[in-house]
Amino acid sequence: MEATEVKMRQNEIIQPLLTDLYQLTMAYAYWKSGKVDDTAVFDLFFRKNPFSGEFTIFAGLEQCIKFLFNFRYSDSDITYLKQILPPYVEEEFFRYLKNLTVEDVTLFAIPEGSVVFPRVPLLRVEGPLIVVQLLETTFLNLINYSSLIATNAARFRMAAGKRIKLLEFGLRRAQGPDGGLSASKYAYLGGFDGTSNVLAGKLFHIPVKGTHAHAYISSFSTLADLKTRDLAVYDQNGSDLIESRDFVETCIKRRDQLATLLGILLQEANDGELAAFISYAMAFPDGFTALVDTYEVLSWSGETPSQRYISEPRLHYRSGLLNFCAVAVALSDFGYRPIGIRLDSGDLAYLSNRARDAFRKIAEELTIPWFAQLSIVASNDINEETILSLNDQHHQIDCFGIGTHLVTCQKQPALGCVYKLVEINKQPKIKLSEDLEKVTIPGRKDIYRLYGSDGHALIDLMQKHGEPPPLAGNRVLCRHPFLESKRAYVNPARVEPLLHIYWQNGRCCQPLPSMEQLRHRVQHQLGTIRQDHKRNLNPTPYKVSVSDSLYSYLHKLWLQNAPIGELS
* Footprint of its own copies on 438-477 (CB under 8 A): none
Q: Decide if residue 282 touches its own copies (CB under 8 A).
A: yes
Q: Minimal distance in Å, beta carbon 150 to its own copies?
A: 13
Contact residue for its own copies among 106, 257, 332, 404 (CB under 8 A): 404
Between the alpha carbon of residue 54 and those of residues 20, 51, 152, 447, 544, the distances in Å are 30, 9, 12, 19, 12
- Closer to its own copies by CB, 293 or 525: give it: 293
Query: What residues numbered 229-268 form the site for its own copies, per CB under 8 A?
Result: 265, 268
Say what the alpha-carbon torsion angle 318, 319, 325, 330 is, to the nearest 10 degrees.
Answer: 160
Neighbours of 128 (CB within 10 A): 21
Query: What residues numbered 52-81 form the site for its own copies, per CB under 8 A?
Result: 77, 80-81
Residue 3 phi, psi (nearest 5)? -60, -40
- Which helix or strand (DSSP H or E) is residue 507 part of? strand 507-508
Q: Decide if residue 213 touches its own copies (CB under 8 A).
A: yes
Q: Decide if residue 402 touches its own copies (CB under 8 A).
A: no
- Closer to its own copies by CB, 18 or 501: give it: 18
Contact residue for its own copies among 147, 196, 352, 386 (CB under 8 A): 196
Query: What residues numbered 491-550 form the site for its own copies, per CB under 8 A?
Result: none
Between the alpha carbon of residue 168 and those of residues 128, 399, 404, 510, the distances in Å are 41, 11, 9, 30
Distance between CA atoms of residues 415 and 46, nearest Å: 7
- Closer to its own copies by CB, 425 or 453: give it: 425
Classified as helix, coil or strand, 415 is coil
Pairing of strands 457-464, 543-547: parallel
Residue 307 phi, psi (nearest 5)? -85, -10
Query: What residues numbered 332-391 form the site for its own copies, per CB under 8 A?
Result: 345-346
Distance between CA atoms of residues 44 and 125, nearest Å: 8
Q: Are 451 and 457 in contact (CB under 8 A)?
A: yes
Contacting range for its own copies; rule: CB under 8 A; set: 133-141, 353-361, 498-506, 524-532: 133-141
Q: Decide if residue 201 touches its own copies (CB under 8 A).
A: yes
Q: Decide if residue 427 touches its own copies (CB under 8 A).
A: yes
Contacting range for its own copies; rule: CB under 8 A; set: 100-108, 275-283, 352-360, 522-530: 275-283
Distance between CA atoms of residues 2 and 8, nearest Å: 10
Contacting range for its own copies; rule: CB under 8 A; set: 251-259, 322-330, 426-434, 505-513: 426-434
Contacting range for its own copies; rule: CB under 8 A; set: 116-124, 222-230, 360-368, 527-535: 222-230
Q: Which residues of 330-367 are buried (b: 16+ CB within 10 A; e: fewer)?
A: bbbbbbbbbbbbbbbbbbbbebbbbbbebbebbbeebe
Q: Decide if residue 157 touches its own copies (CB under 8 A).
A: no
Q: Decide if residue 211 touches its own copies (CB under 8 A).
A: yes
Q: Minimal distance in Å, beta carbon 525 to its own copies?
A: 23
Q: Decide if residue 25 touches its own copies (CB under 8 A).
A: yes
Q: Decide if residue 224 touches its own copies (CB under 8 A).
A: no
Contact residue for its own copies among 1, 2, 6, 33 (CB under 8 A): 33
